[in-house]
Structure 1
Amino acid sequence: MNSSLASPVDTLSEAPSSGGFFRVLAAISFCHMLNDMVQALLPSIYPILKSSFHLNFGQIGFLTLTYQITASLLQPLAGHYTDRKPRPFSLSIGMGSTLCGLVLLAVAPTFHWLLLAASLVGVGSAVFHPESSRVARMVSGGRHGFAQSFFQVGGNTGSAIGPLLAAFIVLPRGQSGIAWFAIPTVLGIIVLARVGIWIKHHQGTAAVKRSIRASTLHLELSRKKIFGALSVLVALIFSKYFYLASLTSYYTFYLISRFHVSVRTSQVFLFIFLAAVAAGTLIGGPIGDRYGRKYVIWVSILGVLPFTLLLPHANLYWTGILSIIIGFVISSAFSAILVYAQELVPGRIGMISGVFFGFAFGMGGIGAAVLGKLADATSIIFVYKLCAYLPAIGLLTGFLPNLEPAYKRPSPKPAM
């Protein structure tokens, strides 16, 4: 690995493909998959918990809120701290917290213990996401969108696998079956410890410094314009994750309520939707690198509106098809939004990553709680009809500064 880092990393195309850098990027993406696979168990086993603990939709929403808010509030603080004082082994420590929450979730005797388990999983997420996003940028070689998408697709893949594994591992065994997922979590701790060793030895090397500097934009924007752009990005995150909360938390209930499918069938549908999310995530970053983040944001948020409006009126077959389209299109936005925000506030990668990851988690949690209460008061079908209009907030993308000329750089000359 050391020899690969000794090679030049002066061009945008070299660093992500060089052995040492790409192995680190692949390692954190793999651990992102393990981390989010475990975290995806929580919404996947809601039907089991609802039956075992006699929960209503409001309590399910509050369980999600506990996890999401814990992660949301701590992520900016964790990112700010590691910007100032990098801690190479914080990633493995964060996944250790996830492991504790997972084990407690498997043996929790009451709803209050479930809340504590969810909060421990949230703490693990709060530590993992901003620091791993900072590491992804560190080894990106300037292809920031590609690196963030590659990192993100690991998490989305894990989120897609989680419900499928829950259907075939947890569902037959009940709540105690969750303990089986301690095995991949321990594997993640080991891999992240090795990543921590790499960071400790190489974060000050010239190759890493060139990778961080590559493609950094020197913007001539006032603080007012930067704040306005960040405010628009926050609104877009609200639109995306409030809508996604209706699918990730209540899609199984929607399918069961409207089409009377089995729990296992509903979880398979959820897996297919989350797999589409993972596929769409991988596309958004590289396209943003090539054509500009703003175009990706336009298409991803506003472009999904016709499909969300159709979804509540479709039959089971077309519900599956539309959910695939929605998942694929809307998921391409986050990497573009995150890198756009990082370029607006250079030098604060961890903090900005923590703010946007944290806000995304927070909106997911608040959305789950609000929509759960609304579903109790009305119906889950009404919730889907109402949420269909949320992507219209994508019209705000028109107020973002046009940074595309700064993204478009001449192609690097081949190495001699």
Structure 2
Amino acid sequence: MKNKRDLGLLTVTHGVNDMYQGAIPALLPFLQAGRGYSYTLITGITLAATGLSSLIQPLVGLLADRRPLSWLIPAGMVTAGVGVGLSGLGDAYVWTWFAVALAGIGLAAYHPAGAMAARTLGGGDARSMSVFAVGGNIGVALAPLYVSVVINGAGVSGTWLLALPAVVMGAVCLVTRRSWRVTTTTHPGTAGVERHAGQAGHSDDWRAFGTLSVISVFWSIPYVVMGSLAALYVISRFGVSAATGSATLTAFTAGGVVGTLAGGWSAERWGRLAALRYGYLVSALAVAGVVLMPEIAGVLVCAFLYGTVLFVPFAAQVTLAQDYLPTRIGTASGLTLGVTLSAGGLLSPLFGMLADAWGVRAVLATLIGILLVPAALAWRLPEPRAAEGQPTGGHSNRPDVMSPQSDQAQESR
């Protein structure tokens, strides 16, 4: 019961944090309309949010395996908010680029610590991870609406208002002195449960983890490309306003909320590997609908369906990665989430150049083929090796080993 409350608060911080992940693509149509940026420059801003984070997030995961870094949960969230808040205060493209890069650093710092905390609070099952993940999806889904209200009311220079939720939530964490004590496999203060897994023969499966990392790359590309170009696609194809175009992004991210919850449920019912295999296949069909539907209403429906089925594999991927590397939970979280959030962003300028050359509709059509790659690779993934006396498939018999502590109590440990 205590853990449910703690997981709930952690999920709220995830929602606030990931709202800034969604705010960056939501800002792009307004930046293009107000400053005349090309698709290449627009996707360069997406690169700013992911370039440094692709390096930082795995390093944070490695460090998290050695010492508790739970303070990064509020610190990363606030940094992400401040970066987005600064993004519109300067007219120069370089200012916006570096401000968004700062936000990306905050997003990268938050996720490994947050995922480890969610795993320990939830006992490692896919449903608990999906609850944590859906908090982020809700934040991403609310971002276009929040950005539209702020920018339509205050202009691009009013982006400082976007930082307020992070500042408020950071103050809540400070006032409540809420800290999540993340157990690790190598830290001296670790409860013996995680360490026991390695001693009982639950070894790391780097080959399966490598295959899953490749799958994560091919999840990231369709996610980031659709997030960066969906609103611009509808604006260019149907001649609607930036605010109306953002409705496509809202439909896509709202579908992610539904898909994350459905993914956790389906992974528990039919297995995590099934969630991956069939989620990617149906995603390819949904993208085809986005590209081929002749009316904007049909595009919105298909964008919602695409977000739903694309996120079905998400929670399963994170818990599978942690189970493939049971002695390196932080590394697994950092690498998987780092790849998931960053790989597509690193390639986004390429897709921006292609959009300038071919048109954004043709670029979105390439996602159909891209999604078939992880669908095929998912059939090569094995079930994680079970430690002696423990089940596979994301369930765990572990006792609760994590609870909120005051900062003073944690330091005394």
TM-score range relative to shorter protein: 0.7 to 0.9
2:377 to 396, 409, 412: 396
Aligned residue in 2 for 1:50: 32
- For normalisation by structure 1, the TM-score amounts to 0.85
1:185 to 166, 177, 180: 166
| Residue-by-residue CA offset, 1:170-206 (whole Å, 9 max, x unaligned) | 12321122221222111221344468644359999xx
Q: Aligned pair count? A: 387
Are residues 1:93 and 2:75 paired?
Answer: yes
Are residues 1:379 and 2:325 paired?
Answer: no
Gap change, CA 1:53 and 1:35, over 3 Å in 2: same
What letter matches 1:310 in structure 2?
A: G
In structure 1, C-alpha distance between the alignment counterparts of 2:349 and 2:283, rounded to whole Å: 24
Cα pair 2:263 2:275 within 8 Å, conserved: yes
Identity percentage over the alignment? 27
In structure 2, C-alpha distance between the alignment counterparts of 1:33 and 1:160, rounded to whole Å: 9
In structure 1, C-alpha distance between the alignment counterparts of 2:146 and 2:182, rounded to whole Å: 37
Structure 2 residue matching 1:60: 3-state secondary structure: helix
Aligned residue in 1 for 2:348: 368
In structure 1, C-alpha distance between the alignment counterparts of 2:62 and 2:94, rounded to whole Å: 31
RMSD of aligned Cα (Å): 2.8
What letter matches 2:61 in structure 1?
A: G
Cα pair 2:16 2:77 within 8 Å, conserved: no
Tell me the CA shift for residue 322 of structure 1. 1.5
In structure 1, C-alpha distance between the alignment counterparts of 2:197 and 2:8, rounded to whole Å: 21
In structure 2, C-alpha distance between the alignment counterparts of 1:395 and 1:158, rounded to whole Å: 31
Gap change, CA 1:348 and 1:195, over 3 Å in 2: farther
Between stretches 78-87 and 169-178, larger displacement belongs to 169-178
Are residues 1:175 and 2:175 paired?
Answer: no
Aligned residue in 2 for 1:347: 327
Are residues 1:158 and 2:139 paired?
Answer: yes
In structure 1, C-alpha distance between the alignment counterparts of 2:18 and 2:280, rounded to whole Å: 23
Gap change, CA 1:103 and 1:317, over 3 Å in 2: closer
| Residue-by-residue CA offset, 1:209-248 (whole Å, 9 max, x unaligned) | 4886899997777x7xx33322321222122221122210
Report matched runs for 1:54-133 at 5 Å.
54-133=36-115
Structure 2 residue matching 1:325: 3-state secondary structure: helix
In structure 1, C-alpha distance between the alignment counterparts of 2:207 and 2:325, rounded to whole Å: 13
Aligned residue in 1 for 2:220: 241
Tell me the CA shift for residue 304 of structure 1. 2.1
Gap change, CA 1:402 and 1:52, over 3 Å in 2: same
Cα pair 1:290 1:407 within 8 Å, conserved: no
Structure 1 residue matching 2:4: 3-state secondary structure: helix
Tell me the CA shift for residue 251 of structure 1. 0.5
In structure 1, C-alpha distance between the alignment counterparts of 2:197 and 2:262, rounded to whole Å: 19
Are residues 1:39 and 2:24 paired?
Answer: no
Report matched runs for 1:198-209 at 5 Å.
198-200=179-181, 209=191
What letter matches 1:121 in structure 2?
A: A
Cα pair 1:31 1:191 within 8 Å, conserved: no
Between stretches 369-378 and 51-60, larger displacement belongs to 51-60
Are residues 1:141 and 2:123 paired?
Answer: yes
Structure 2 residue matching 1:29: 3-state secondary structure: helix
| Residue-by-residue CA offset, 1:21-75 (whole Å, 9 max, x unaligned) | 1111111110111111123222111122123333211111111111111222100
In structure 1, C-alpha distance between the alignment counterparts of 2:274 and 2:235, rounded to whole Å: 37
What letter matches 1:243 in structure 2?
A: P
Tell me the CA shift for residue 254 of structure 1. 0.7
What letter matches 2:104 in structure 1?
A: G
What letter matches 1:348 in structure 2?
A: R
In structure 2, C-alpha distance between the alignment counterparts of 1:36 and 1:398, rounded to whole Å: 30
Cα pair 1:294 1:404 within 8 Å, conserved: no
Tell me the CA shift for residue 337 of structure 1. 0.9
| Residue-by-residue CA offset, 1:278-329 (whole Å, 9 max, x unaligned) | 1111121233234321111111112322222333111222212221211111
In structure 2, C-alpha distance between the alignment counterparts of 1:227 and 1:411, rounded to whole Å: 21
2:302 to 322, 333, 343: 322
Structure 1 unmatched runs, 5+: 1-17
Cα pair 1:141 1:212 within 8 Å, conserved: no
Are residues 1:229 and 2:208 paired?
Answer: yes
What letter matches 2:241 in structure 1?
A: S
Tell me the CA shift for residue 383 of structure 1. 0.6
In structure 2, C-alpha distance between the alignment counterparts of 1:410 and 1:59, rounded to whole Å: 45
| Residue-by-residue CA offset, 1:339-379 (whole Å, 9 max, x unaligned) | 11110101211211110111112222123211101001111
Structure 1 residue matching 2:88: 3-state secondary structure: helix
- For normalisation by structure 2, the TM-score amounts to 0.86
What letter matches 1:395 in structure 2?
A: A
Aligned residue in 2 for 1:311: 290
In structure 1, C-alpha distance between the alignment counterparts of 2:59 and 2:394, rounded to whole Å: 34
In structure 2, C-alpha distance between the alignment counterparts of 1:409 and 1:118, rounded to whole Å: 35
Tell me the CA shift for residue 404 of structure 1. 9.6
In structure 2, C-alpha distance between the alignment counterparts of 1:294 and 1:219, rounded to whole Å: 23
What letter matches 1:124 in structure 2?
A: G
Are residues 1:254 and 2:236 paired?
Answer: no
Are residues 1:26 and 2:8 paired?
Answer: yes
